[in-house]
A and B are shown apart, each in its own frame.
Chain A
Amino acid sequence: MSKKDFTVADFDPNNVLEVRNLKKYFPAGRNFFGKTNAWLKAVDDVSFTVPRGSTLGIVGESGCGKTTLGRTVLQLQPATDGRVIFDGLEISAMSKSRLRPMRPQMQIIFQDPYSSLPPRAPVGDIIGEAVKVHNIVPKTELKDYVIEIMRKCGLQDFYYERYPHEFSGGQRQRICIARALAVKPKFIVCDEPVSALDVSIQAQIVNLLKTLQMQDELTYMFISHDLSVVEHISTHVGVMYLGSMMEYASKEDLFGDPLHPYTKALLSAVPVPDPRYHVKRIILEGDIPSPVNPPKGCKFHTRCKQCMDICSQVTPELRDVGGGHCVACHLYNDPCATATVESLDVADDRSADAADTATTPESKE
């Protein structure tokens, strides 16, 4: 099989990654005959692009599918549907063996530095193993190369023969970063890399990630629930809720002018370290609904304060409202599309579905 088989023609070379209508469902229930009859929609029709050298921040509450999105993008688990295009090649269509030579280009840093390092391997082996497997450098130069990478990540030379348990959380996270960097990746998924760390160590790791990005022209997908860290490190931010992308915009747009009610609530809930700062918080009532049985229509409508009739019937599409600021909310629909749906007042399930398909082309016009 030649490499050309997977090339995607309409891929913009300015991007590193394009995700188109990605879906990842997990079986959640079986009927009497063992056939799956309920699906947990962890990632449900998500599309986005990641420009070269940028950082895409993904925020959302726990259980909204951000980690699943990161893992599915890297093909660590097969996607149910949709396409993932990395550097012009459709990796979602590749076989495992075909994917292996691609692996060094995309790496991941996990959340918990305590469980993501093998306890019985010295640091040098941990960092060097993938280098050896992928033949990044000749065997004779391996040790020097690993030590160089370790220095770059702020680890001292003599740590080479130490074991992970001898390190603190911050240093372990540095080892994880060194391990990811050792295979010269282009794209790194950082899955909550600083959540398990103390505040002063968090700052060290965030700064290290930024320095490395400038040195090696890396592209990050930074998954976190901490909005302040995401704002600090990202160039673009996507907000997820129950497996769907609710808002996607540049960092300035999203934090300066949040459009989706969920984003607004999320931003207002962040505690500000200033005792005189008093803003009326938008407090969301209730909890996230179950992703096995998400609400009909807009997934957020059960907790939304600006909920309209249409919200419980029609799923809003993620659409550009100007300047690359995309939002999936009926509040920002063009009025004619809203009108058509409202005329379909009495809507049983079938007609709601019909309305969904019917309005889509209209609203695109």
Chain B
Amino acid sequence: MSDKTILQQIEEGYQGVGRKDSHYISAKEGRIISRTNSRIISRLEKNKKRKADESEYTTEMRDPNNIVEFDNLHTYFFTDSGVVKSVDGVSFEIPQGSVVGVVGESGCGKSVTSLSLMQLVQAPQGQIVEGSIRFQTSDFVYGEDGKPIPIYEYAKDENGNTLTDEKGEPVVLTRPVTDKKGNVKKDKNGEPVMEKVQAVDENGFPAFEREPKTYDVAKMPTSQMRKIRGKEIAMIFQEPMTSLNPVFTVGNQMDEVVLLHVPGATRESAKARSIEMLRLVGIAEGEMVYKKYPHELSGGMRQRVMIAMALSCNPRLIIADEPTTALDVTIQAQILELLKNVKEKIHGSIMLITHDLGVIAGMADYVVVMYAGRIVEKGTVEDIFYRPMHPYTVGLQKSKPVVNQKTDWLYSIPGQVPNPIDMPDYCYFKDRCQSCIDACNGDYPPLVQVSDTHFVACYRALSEQKEGKDE
């Protein structure tokens, strides 16, 4: 059984289910569906709970300049009425230090793509069934005792050269151990107990040895995922009210992140870090907000707290899932400006998920346009806004009125997104497309490269490219 891939298992299990002419599922079909689903889900869940050796999920990046590479990602939801292919073969990269915008209508799979990266897809029904998500990170080097190896401060002479002992090894600085009141601890002989002084990294936390690593998030067991989630990849959710815990103070929730992810962090250092982060996101009276409960803050403030919380471990990637949809225009402008500044400060990347093309134009370097679980077009922000190729991208841009631009009628894309359970086998956009050609009746179009950075999944682009070559 296990030698078959999940996709084969789905295809096999679903044989004879879902006639095209009927809207309803018969009892027999229902039984087949639930049996197949439970079989596949239990296989995938077991896989996630396994104890895996690190080598199993360590991979190589295709391009070391990228921080994340989605490669042929398939995230499916196994429901009682069939498989919903929320993300169906998505591949794109997030280069280091850039903002990648993912646009699309609700239900197109943009949120599920980001949740797959965090391994936060609603389980057990939602599962990553195929593909890989490579994530470049740096992890602690673990010693023989299973604890991370600390970096110590070395003794230096007046010229700043490291002192060495007789054997030629550097001398580690030591200091006497003190208790909470500041009294020096003494041993039986009355000598002070000495401890090695640990170096401090740029965030003010104890330093540990680190090494660069590349993980395949799709293959990682859940227990291992915890050391990345919230620390290396942080997420800012759409609704700050529902994503903050109403029964704990802001400070309590923010400290938790630091205490959980930074070895050697104390309550005091966590608090200092939290307040520093609150200041970084433009909250002047950080100490006051630290003590408040989420309901005492306004929407914009709450979103700032969410951003501060996301930043507190210096993540390499921030996923912002519709960070401004629930906010007003003026507050939206504040938050977007803040995100831009913050990105510069922490040298991280942002994956910005939104349906607002205006926000994308102002923020993103690269844009990925998704439709019904697949990428229809991707490229730089200039490619997408000035040279859009896919009729869906064009339609999306034309259907939004722009301030100070007069149009009598808005262009509207006719029809609706097809039913996610029974997707057609031709181009998903064909039924709504006004510029179809004969080739569109064929299979789903492949992603065609039209320039160095610009890709589009449309037969018209393909045929135009062929014509260009013939000439």
Docked Cα-Cα span, A288 to B334, in Å, equals: 13
Supply 8 A–B pairs (Cβ within 8 Å), ascending by A: A198-B106, A228-B402, A232-B407, A272-B362, A273-B397, A284-B333, A287-B301, A288-B298
Is the CB of B355 closer than 8 A to any CB of chain A? yes
A199-B355, A269-B330 known; A255+B404 contact, CB < 8 A: yes
Whether a CB of chain B sits under 8 angstroms from the CB of A33 is: no
B360 close to chain A: CB less than 8 A: yes
Selected contact of A275 from candidates B331, B382, B409, CB within 8 Å: B382
Selected interface stretch from B67-75, B86-94, B257-265, B410-418: B410-418
CA distance A287 to B334 in the complex (A): 10
Chain B residues close to A by CB (< 8 Å) = 105-106, 298-301, 328-334, 336-337, 355-362, 381-382, 385, 395-397, 399-404, 407, 409-413, 416
A284 & B397 in contact (Cβ 8 Å cutoff)? no
Nearest Cβ in chain B — how far from A350, in angstroms? 32
Q: Are A283 and B334 in contact (CB under 8 A)?
A: yes
Cβ–Cβ < 8 Å partners of B358 in chain A: 270-273
List residues of chain B with CB within 8 A of the CB of A340. none
Question: What is A's interface to B at a CB cutoff of 8 Å?
Answer: 61-62, 168, 170, 198-204, 206-207, 210, 225, 227-229, 231-232, 255-256, 265-275, 277, 281, 283-284, 287-288
The reply to whether B413 and A200 contact each other, CB–CB distance below 8 Å, is yes
Contacts of A266 in B (CB 8 A): 329-330
Kindly state the separation between the CA atoms of A325 and B298 in the bound complex, as whole angstroms: 33
Extra A-B contacts (14), CB below 8 Å, given A207-B410, A271-B333, A273-B360:
A62-B299, A198-B355, A199-B357, A199-B399, A200-B105, A200-B399, A225-B328, A227-B329, A232-B407, A268-B333, A273-B402, A274-B385, A275-B382, A284-B330
Q: Which residues of B contact A268 (CB under 8 A)?
A: 333
Judging by beta carbons under 8 Å apart, are A168 and B416 in contact? yes
Q: Do B328 and A62 have beta carbons less than 8 Å apart? A: yes
Q: Which residue in chain A gives the minimum CB-CB distance to B400? A: A199
Q: Which chain A residues lie closer than 8 Å to B409 at the CB level?
A: 207, 210
Given contacts A61-B328, A271-B362, contact A200 B337 (CB under 8 A): no
Which of B106, B329, B331, B399 has a CB less than 8 Å from the CB of A203?
B399
Interface pair A61/B402, CB less than 8 Å apart: no
Q: Which residues of B contact A228 (CB under 8 A)?
A: 400-403
> From residue A241, how far is it (CB to closest CB) to chain B in Å?
10
- Bound-complex Cα distance A210 to B408 (A): 9
In the complex with contacts A198-B355, A204-B412, A61-B329 CB distance below 8 A:
yes
- Please judge, given known A-B contacts A232-B401, A232-B407, whether A287 and B331 are in contact too, CB under 8 Å: yes
B332 A271 Cβ-Cβ under 8 A:
yes
Q: Please give me the 9 A-B residue pairs with the lowest Cβ-Cβ distance, nearest first.
A: A271-B358, A203-B412, A203-B399, A232-B401, A269-B333, A61-B328, A203-B410, A273-B357, A200-B413
B299: chain A residues within 8 A (beta carbon)? 62, 287
Which residues does chain A contribute within 8 Å of B359, judged by CB atoms? 271
Cα–Cα distance between A129 and B367 once the two chains are bound (Å): 47
Are B399 and A61 neighbours in the complex by a CB distance under 8 Å? Answer: no
CB of A199 within 8 A of CB of B329, answer no
- Chain B residues with CB under 8 Å of A284's CB are 330, 333-334
Enumerate chain A residues within 8 angstroms of B385, measured Cβ to Cβ. Answer: 273-275
Give the distance in Å from the alpha carbon of A210 to the alpha carbon of B412 in the complex: 13
With both chains docked as a complex, state the minimum distance between the C-beta of A324 and any C-beta of chain B, in angstroms: 20
